[in-house]
Structure 1
C-alpha cells in the first residue's frame, strides 16, 4: 500500500462530493460538496482542494452501467478527468468504477437517520467516501493502484 493522502471526487451534474483519507490510506472521510453547475468555479475549487490537501493522487468516480458499459455520463467524466489532470499535473488522476456508490451512501445515511431531502449534498460527500474507501481496499488487496490512470494530453 502506497503511503499518502488521496482525494476522491464524486462528480454529478449539480454537485461534486469530495472525500479525503489519512496518509496511511486507512480511513476515508467527507470533505465538502462543491457546487458543480458553474464549471469554471467548480474546477477552481477542486484545484484549491488539491493544493490544500497535497494528495499523492486524485480518484474520480467513473459512472458505468450495471453491465459495466459506459454511456454519455462516463464520456463526460472522462473529459472532466482529462481537464483536471492537466490542471493539477504532476499529481496523477485515476478513474475508478463508481457503480452503486450513491445507492450505498444513501442507504447508509438513511440508516443513520439523515433525511434524503436534507441530505442531498451530504449524499455526494458520502458517495465520494465510498468511492475512496473502495479504491483503498482494492489497492490494499491487490498491491496495485486502483482503476485506470488518466493520461495528460496537452
Structure 2
C-alpha cells in the first residue's frame, strides 16, 4: 500500500509540474487569426512560438491619410489571456508609435473579443494632442 501511495504522490507531483506548461502551450494559438474592431481597423496575428506573435495592424482611421489601410508590422507577447503589442506607423509617413495591451474574452454572445487599450504617441514636441488613448473591441473574423 505504501508503495502505491508513493507512486500516486509522484504522479501527482509530475502532473502538477507539467500542467502549467501544457495549459500555456496553446496561448498563442488562441490569439492567432484576424481581428476587426468597431472602427474597421484590422489586427492580423500569427504564432511565432508559445508566447509570441507577429503580425500587422491596418488602421481604418488616421490623421495621415496614407496610413489608412497600411499594414504596419508588429510584435506581440502574451501571458495567459493577456496580450501586449507594439508598432510604428513610420512606414506610411505618420509620426506615431503605438503600444496596445488587452485581454481575450468571450462576450455575452460567446463571440471571442480582444478588449484593447492603446497608447498612441507622437514624435516631436510635447503638446496637448501628442498622446492619444483609446479602448477598442476587436472581434475574430472567420473561424479559427
Normalised by the size of structure 2, how large is the TM-score? Answer: 0.32
Normalised by the size of structure 1, how large is the TM-score? Answer: 0.30
Comparing both chains, which one has the higher relative contact order based on Cα–Cα distances under 8 Å and sequence gaps of 6 or more? Answer: 1
> Which structure shows the bigger proportion of residues in helix conformation?
1
Work out which of the two has the higher radius of gyration on C-alpha atoms and give 1 or 2: 2
> Which structure shows the bigger proportion of residues in strand conformation?
2
